[in-house]
């Protein structure tokens, strides 16, 4: 696939039907590199990426993702993991009217996962993959703690999302997006 970033974005869509072709190592590296170069608040890069390519693990992870069958045919899964950060300063600053301090530690970490910005490296990876003809779909519907245990993540890390990658089987068709007038508020 060639063209501008917008061309790539216009052509990209969720791909859940994959051929059984594996993704060459250099393309895998290209995809991961796109994730590594992502921006993050304070350049903390509070993430790890887990690369999973063996069939048995992919099937087990499909089960953990509430049995979503299509995941089993992916050539690889990348799990985006976030680091638990002790400091609640950012959320206290963003929501000064809320009693952030009183939240239970475990609960706070889990509902604060969005703050770790893993959707940015994921988005880079999806786009880099599409440039190389590799399709993908995001997955966030899974049992988080069970996946963390299965992957044996370092303590203090949780999986925030997974992305399934593979070569699309058949034609791909982008879904409708809202018109600019629907999404843009001119202030």
Ligand X SMILES: Cc1cc2nc3c(=O)[nH]c(=O)nc-3n(C[C@H](O)[C@H](O)[C@H](O)COP(=O)(O)O)c2cc1C
Q: Kindly write out the interface string for residues 165-184 of this chain, putting x where it contacts ligand X by CB under 6 A and - elsewhere.
A: ----------x---------
The residues near 146 (Cβ < 8 Å, ≥ 6 apart) are 64
Rounded (5°) CA angle 53-74-122:
80
Please state the closest distance from residue 178 (CB atom) to ligand X, in A.
11
> C-alpha distances in angstroms, 162 versus 4, 23, 79, 136?
26, 17, 4, 10
Q: Does 9 bind ligand X (CB under 6 A)?
A: no
Rounded CA gap, 29 and 34, in Å?
9
* Footprint (CB under 6 A) of ligand X, residues 15-74: 68
Cα dihedral sign for 35, 37, 41, 44? Answer: positive
Cα dihedral sign for 23, 26, 29, 31? Answer: negative
For ligand X, the binding residue among 30, 49, 108, 138 (CB under 6 A) is 138
* Nearest one of 174, 186, 176 to 12, comparing CA atoms: 174
Q: Which two tokens stand for residue 67?
A: 């049995």
For ligand X, the binding residue among 31, 129, 134, 139 (CB under 6 A) is 139
* Footprint (CB under 6 A) of ligand X, residues 84-113: none
Beta strands 76-83 and 47-52, pairing class:
antiparallel
Size of the site for ligand X (CB under 6 A): 10
What is the per-residue burial (b if ≥16 Cβ within 10 Å, else e) of 46-65? bbbbbebbeeeebebbbbbb
Q: Does 14 bind ligand X (CB under 6 A)?
A: yes
Please state the closest distance from residue 74 (CB atom) to ligand X, in A.
11
Please state the closest distance from residue 92 (CB atom) to ligand X, in A.
26
Q: Does 140 bind ligand X (CB under 6 A)?
A: yes
Please state the closest distance from residue 94 (CB atom) to ligand X, in A.
21
Indicate the residue among 93 and 180 with the shorter CB distance to ligand X. Answer: 180
For ligand X, the binding residue among 137, 147, 157, 165 (CB under 6 A) is 137
Please state the closest distance from residue 114 (CB atom) to ligand X, in A.
10
- Site for ligand X, rule CB under 6 A: 13-14, 68, 137-141, 161, 175
């Amino acid at each position: 696939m060639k063209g501008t970033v917008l061309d790539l974005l216009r052509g990209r869509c969720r791909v859940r039907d994959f051929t059984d072709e594996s993704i060459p190592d250099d393309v895998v590296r290209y995809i991961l590199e796109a994730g590594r170069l992502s921006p993050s608040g304070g350049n903390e890069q509070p993430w790890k990426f887990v690369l999973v390519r063996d069939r048995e693990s992919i099937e087990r992870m499909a089960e953990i993702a509430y049995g979503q069958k299509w995941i089993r045919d992916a050539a690889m899964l990348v799990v985006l993991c976030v680091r638990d950060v002790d400091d609640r300063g950012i959320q206290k600053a963003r929501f000064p009217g809320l009693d952030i301090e009183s939240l239970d530690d475990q609960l706070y970490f889990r509902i604060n996962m969005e703050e770790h910005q893993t959707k940015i490296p994921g988005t880079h990876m999806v786009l880099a993959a599409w440039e190389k003809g590799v399709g993908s779909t995001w997955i966030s519907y899974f049992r988080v703690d069970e996946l963390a245990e299965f992957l044996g993540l370092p303590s203090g890390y949780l999986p925030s999302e997974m992305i399934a990658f593979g070569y699309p089987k058949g034609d791909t068709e982008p879904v409708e997006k809202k018109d600019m007038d629907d999404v843009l508020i001119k202030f």
